[in-house]
Amino acid sequence: MADSFQAMAALLLQGLKDAGAGVFMAYRVDQAAVELEKRRREELQHQQQTILAKRRAQRMPEVVRQDRPRILHRIVLCCSWNAGVFWLSILVFWEGVFPALRFITENIFGGSPTHGLVWTWITFFLSAIIYPLWIVPLFLLSKVVNSLWFQDIADAAYRKSHGRPVYARKISLSKMIADLLFSVLMQSLFLIQTEVVKLIPIAGVGQAASFVHLSLLCSLYSFEYKWFNMGWEVQKRVTYVENNWLYFLGFGLPLALLTSLPSSFLISGCVFSILFPLFIIGGNEAKPPTQQISYPLRLFTIVTVISNKVFNATVGYRNVTASKPSPKPERKETS
């Protein structure tokens, strides 16, 4: 395609638009599923009723209520956990417990030099106890819970919009595990690369390059659930992002920006967990461009090569990202 400035800007804006649409898509996907179930019940009622069909029809409303996917409800639960439990617990600790203890010690010791020494020791002991016994375990628990919720939300949205996932029919369990491990390794290395490019000794260039990296990584996170359900391997997913990097830069830009605002790593992770389900829905319903631009951005090349070497040295699963079926041997004709 002709990569004019207007066309490039249009791709970027399309990505931004699809990312913002995720907020409204969750409700629309649920409504579409409800209408589909309603039509199925109406069709069942117009069919010739046998005794067995009548019994099924009588049980149908209950089955629908039990099986109806509640994507919006799951998103609310996920956001409530991250905002109402994890984030709130951190705020209570830093904005409630600490100021209260400081107020109490000031009233006890007044303005004497002893107060400064006592408060230093209190801060040290509380930080040493609270972080390993409260904040860190809660953070790890949130990671586990979020990963399960994210997968549940993505699978439910995919089944509503696209039907049964392809991987459930065509991909073996061992290949699924290898794909998952390779993807985690590659994305971890890419996150390190995102931090390394910040060190570019040119004013503004390092930060801009790092932000582009982070935006593309957020897009890859968002679309990966859908592409995995479609049966796409890692190399195909990464190549698609690189070939259409302007669209995915726009899609991942809001999430990258919002998660970069907090100075605390824990708060940043909490913000990501609150917003990410909406981007999963947006990625599931979005229709990215099918024709690549003339200048792909090969930012994943280095981490892909390193990940292949690591896998080959440790697991022995060579080039998981570019695995292709071996060609069948030609049959010799007999005279």
Q: What is the pLDDT of residues 253-300, one digit of tens each?
A: 999 999 998 887 778 888 888 889 889 988 988 888 877 778 899 999
Q: How many Cβ atoms sit within 10 Å of the Cβ of residue 187?
A: 18
CA atoms within 13 A on the CB side of 107: 5
pLDDT of residue 242: 93
| Mean pLDDT (whole number) for 31-40 | 60
Closest CA to 321 of 330, 313, 312: 312
Angle, CA of 140, 144 and 150, to the nearest 5°: 135
Q: Could you say which DSSP state residue 315 is in? A: T
Whether residue 271 contacts residue 238, with contact meaning beta carbons closer than 8 Å, is answered with no
CA–CA separation, 17 and 262 (whole Å): 24
CA–CA separation, 131 and 140 (whole Å): 12
pLDDT of residue 324: 43
Q: Is 47 helix (H, G, I), strand (E, B) or coil?
A: coil
pLDDT-based confidence at residue 111 (cuts at 50, 70, 90): low
Whether residue 176 contacts residue 297, with contact meaning beta carbons closer than 8 Å, is answered with no
Q: Is 306 helix (H, G, I), strand (E, B) or coil?
A: helix
- Within its chain, how far is the Cα of 127 from the centroid? 31
Who contacts 117 (Cβ-Cβ below 8 Å, separation ≥6)?
none
